[in-house]
Chains A and B, each alone.
Chain A
Amino acid sequence: MCADQTSIQPAANGNYAIEARDLNVYYGAFRAVNDINLQVERQKITALIGPSGCGKSTVLRAFNRMNDLVPVARTEGEVLFHGKNIYDADVDAVEVRRRIGMVFQKPNPFPKSIYENIAWGAKINGFKGNMDQLVEESLRGAALWDEVKDKLKQSGYSLSGGQQQRLCIARAIAVKPDIILMDEPCSALDPIATLRIEELMRELVERYTIIIVTHNMQQASRVADYTAFFMVDDSRTGFLVEYDESDRIFTKPKDQRTEDYITGRFG
């Protein structure tokens, strides 16, 4: 790992990759999620599932301060990353996002060449090493190298949807983050491309912590080590119902509502 000087230093006993404490997110006067407490394990895949509008994406975006981009959004509570609250006044959101990367619902490569797509993030973050090597490494990391090594100069848009999503993953790992957030990364992909991304996630988790939002419970049960189930109350505010190892959530959930959801009784 790079030993760069940041204000986010590993805590002495930082057992968790990231931890939300009493997290509340508001959009204007509307409370989107209520008192979320969640500890995400290092180098594991944690899936956030739940019905539509339950705030799982909001929680995910709270983990790298993406909600800051929404002018009316406001966050209360703490998100501890290496023991430091990322919402503290002395923490820069830019730095947080470099350490906690993100892959979005729809593949969104930059309208640049494949090479540039990978190199840009490293360049703006002051990368001084061998760029060609970094690009190759990142593309290999995202299992895309063999498919694109002969056409690095071509536009990122020339790739298929699944390839584009893996390009976005390669782009994210090129800046060497600790955590990769994935917001329904397979919802725009066909089943085969989905399977490849899932395989990739299993490979990546050996080096990174992954948090994934998904609508697809099969996907969560297939790839996730831990699963958090969210629900929405009558005022449309999301809250965390149950968080446990995936095996348990999907076989013997403690909460009746979780069971109702995973057995397809609602949602």
Chain B
Amino acid sequence: MAVNPRDNDVFPQGETYTAFVRKRRRTGAFFRTLFLLATILAIVILTVLVLDVANNAFGYVAIQNRIDPETLIDQYYKNQMLAMPRTLTSEEDEVLAEGIAARPGAIGFFGYAYYQDNADTLRALAIDGVAPSAEAASSGDYLLARPLYIYTSQQLMKQGPQVAAFIAFYLDNATAVAEDVGYFPASAEDLAAGRDQWVRATGLTASTASTLLPASGAIRVAGSSTVQPITRRIAERFQTEAAFTGEITIDGGGTLAGFERLCRTRDIDIADASRAMERPDIARCNSNRVEPLAFTVGTDAISVVTSQQNDFLTGATRDQLRKIFIGAERWSEVDPSWPDTPILRFIPGAESGTLDFFVAGVFGDSLDDLPREDLLVILTTNISAGRLRALNAELAMEERTRDEIQDLVVAEVVRPNIVESWSFLESMFQQEVIEAEVASIPNAVMEFRSWLSWDFITSPQSSNPATAGVFTAILGSLWVTLIAFLVSVPLGVGAATYLEEFSKGSKIDGLIETNINNLAGVPSIIYGMLGLAVFVRFFGQITSGIAFGMADPSTANGRTILSAGFTLGLLILPLVIINAREAIRAVPKALREGAYGLGATKWQTVWSHVLPYSLPGILTGVILSVSRAFGETAPLIVVGVSTFIVVNPDSPFAKFTTLPVQIYQWTSRPQEEFQRLAAAGILVLLLLLLAVNATAIILRNRFSRRY
């Protein structure tokens, strides 16, 4: 050994050494940065993956109902009302008024104006204690009141000062004219809000508004025939009082036609409307760069009337009205204190908007408001007899709850159909484009949909993306994974214990060891082929349950949960063994010696100390392996997983599908909606994996804490 002459010669000194240390630190910093970058990259990639899935799982959809629930309900009640005995219908309100006035046992309804005309012979009823009056109507307390509107846009008022002038005049005179025509005035707040809006839109103040006059040019109005009389009277006064010289044309066509002409064909300046614009209406306008402005100009109210000769009726509740117009034959059936005489009904005909409005107001226009019996009638009258028999065979209608029947009505009759869907990012940043696109689809409604929902989790597979779910697949996955677990864990832990504790290291043991390590790397599809050959074909009698007399005739070919579970069990067996061996090998020698030193046999040592001590490690391996089995697809496809199945598996001998297979199926379909379903399915898969792993980890920690 050579002797080092002086310390200074063997180690760098002073500045040299400082530089050397700095260099070593730089090397460390370089690798630390490298590893940090790798970590960040991994996190970014994972985040992007999850976000991409989430992006597809939420977003706007365009839903087209085969029949709108409102239509369905209106139809149902209108038909019921029209079918009641002793019911006279007429489109002429005058006929109704005369008919009611002459009969003490009669009841009916029409516009408030006609009641006022006949106030000497008729009595208007208070509904839920509220009599029809200007205040009750404009405040909304009166059940059968609705506001009336006119619509225009800022652009139209700016381009045509005569339009702005007309609307200002309209707002100033609406109250008087509405009463003149037989309606109630709009509330003072609504009118004031209208004036403010006018000021904002035109940039003029109330005092400078007069500079618009005298105006000329054309004013074109169209829309609701309900609002039309007010507009017509205003127009007359505008020409006489404000000396308007231009031409005013006023068309009918209905509220919807008015909105169409205002926004799409854009050949009118003002639309009369008996209802406010809803989402699709606004979207239609926006897509044509029209920003609609609404002005409330009056209030319509329907009067429920009896003859002045009627001596028992001054008011009725909503429930009583329902009974009076549908169901009850005699007054005493509605209220025992009323006379036992027949109810005579005088109502507007089927074409009448008043009837629609009455039905919507009294009976409600949402499926949520309907009682069970009504929903049942709607269901049974709108589906075929065959379908009804099939549904009854699943579960008799009598045993279904109200909500279940409502769900059936939606699924079977309303049949919402998703015709278009958008991702989350599109929904956030291109809302207007989407609204325009939805507006171009007839009868389509735009809705924000979470594809991942409770319904999605609890519904079976379906060819309709709106109702498709993953429940069958979740059950299948749980069954298959459970069996894979039951197969692989005892076998795997047993084999690992043998190899680690009892194997004498013979040649055969060595061979087995090598084999197991290699098996862990075999492609999973090979296991699928093994499963097909062994469990499906060779042991078909057992895996399909025939051997136990439990065969489902449709699955007797062995393509069952049991076959799949065994196949996946074999697939993860090497993983379980390798991980369990590692865990057992990590048991300290001192622990074993302590046990042996007390006179324990090998088995006692293994059972009481080695296995409990290595259990957390074994469980870690089991968690990894079971997660692998949970997410496996390829071998299941070979083994014969069902691609479309709506029957929940109820035994190991049942046909099945699993979540990953279901997701795979969906992603391979061309329609965008199924891609969204797949994204939601992936989220469910991730959540389930998280839940399963979290449970396992909690269990594992509990085991570790015990020692």
Contacts and interface: CB of A to CB of B under 8 A. Distances in A.
Interface of A: 64, 66, 69, 71, 94-95, 97-99, 101-104, 106, 108-112, 120-121, 124-125, 155, 157, 168, 171-172, 175
Interface string B48-79: 00000000000000000000000000000000
A108 B598 contact: no
B604 A104 contact: no
Most B CB contacts (10 A, CB to CB) among A66, A124, A175 go to: A124
Nearest to B604: A124
A165 B540 CA distance: 60
B494 interface: no
Contacts of B613: 111
Contact of B600 (A94, A103, A111, A168): A94
B395 interface: no
Interface stretch (B3-11, B552-560, B585-593): B585-593
Contact of B592 (A69, A95, A102, A112): A69
B499 interface: no
Nearest to A168: B594
17 contacts: A66-B593, A66-B596, A66-B597, A69-B592, A69-B596, A102-B597, A104-B593, A106-B590, A108-B591, A108-B593, A108-B594, A109-B594, A110-B591, A111-B707, A112-B707, A120-B598, A168-B594
Contacts of A101: 597-598
B239 interface: no
A66 B593 CA distance: 8
Nearest to B594: A108
B601 interface: yes
Contacts of B596: 66, 69, 97
A243 to B, nearest CB: 25
Contacts of A171: 594, 598
B229 interface: no
Contacts of A103: 597
Determine which residue in B505, B596, B604 has the highest number of CB atoms from chain A within 10 A of its CB, and name it.
B596
A163 B599 CA distance: 22
Contact of A155 (B600, B609, B707): B707
A157 B608 CA distance: 17
B592 A97 contact: no
Contacts of A109: 594
Q: Which of B590, B599, B601, B604 has the most CB of A within 10 A?
A: B599
Contacts of B594: 104, 108-110, 168, 171
B199 interface: no
Given A66-B593, A108-B588, A175 B599 contact: yes
B597 A110 contact: no
Contacts of A120: 598, 608
Nearest to B588: A108
A49 to B, nearest CB: 22
B590 A124 contact: no
A64 B597 contact: yes
Nearest to B589: A69
A124 B599 contact: yes
A98 B600 CA distance: 8
Given A110-B591, A112-B707, A172 B612 contact: no
B599 A94 contact: yes
Contacts of A106: 590
A97 B608 CA distance: 17
A182 to B, nearest CB: 11
Given A69-B592, A111-B613, A172 B608 contact: no
Given A120-B608, A124-B604, A155-B707, A108 B590 contact: yes
B609 A121 contact: no
Contacts of B609: 110-111
A215 B122 CA distance: 120
A106 B608 CA distance: 20
A86 to B, nearest CB: 13
B425 interface: no
A100 to B, nearest CB: 9
Nearest to B603: A124
B599 A121 contact: yes
Contacts of A102: 593, 597
A111 B591 CA distance: 9
B598 A97 contact: yes
B598 A124 contact: yes
Interface string B367-411: 000000000000000000000000000000000000000000000
Contacts of A125: 598-599
A95 B599 CA distance: 6
B457 interface: no
Contacts of B588: 108
Nearest to B613: A111
B591 A172 contact: no
B692 interface: no
B595 interface: yes
A112 to B, nearest CB: 6
Contacts of A111: 591, 609, 612-613, 707
A97 B599 CA distance: 5
A121 B597 CA distance: 9
Nearest to B601: A94
A124 B592 contact: no
Contacts of B591: 108, 110-111
A104 B597 contact: yes
Given A108-B588, A111-B707, A124 B608 contact: yes
A119 to B, nearest CB: 11
B593 A121 contact: no
B598 A172 contact: yes
A172 B597 contact: yes
B574 to A, nearest CB: 26
Nearest to A175: B598
A94 B598 CA distance: 8
B611 to A, nearest CB: 12
Interface in B602-623: 604, 608-609, 612-613
A104 B593 CA distance: 8
Residue among A69, A104, A108, A112 with max Cβ neighbours from chain B (10 Å): A108
Residue among A66, A94, A175 having the largest count of chain B Cβ atoms under 10 Å: A94
Contacts of B707: 111-112, 155, 157
A99 B599 CA distance: 8
Nearest to A109: B594
B703 to A, nearest CB: 11
B507 to A, nearest CB: 16
A104 B592 CA distance: 12
Interface string B578-590: 0000000000101
Nearest to A99: B599
Nearest to A121: B598
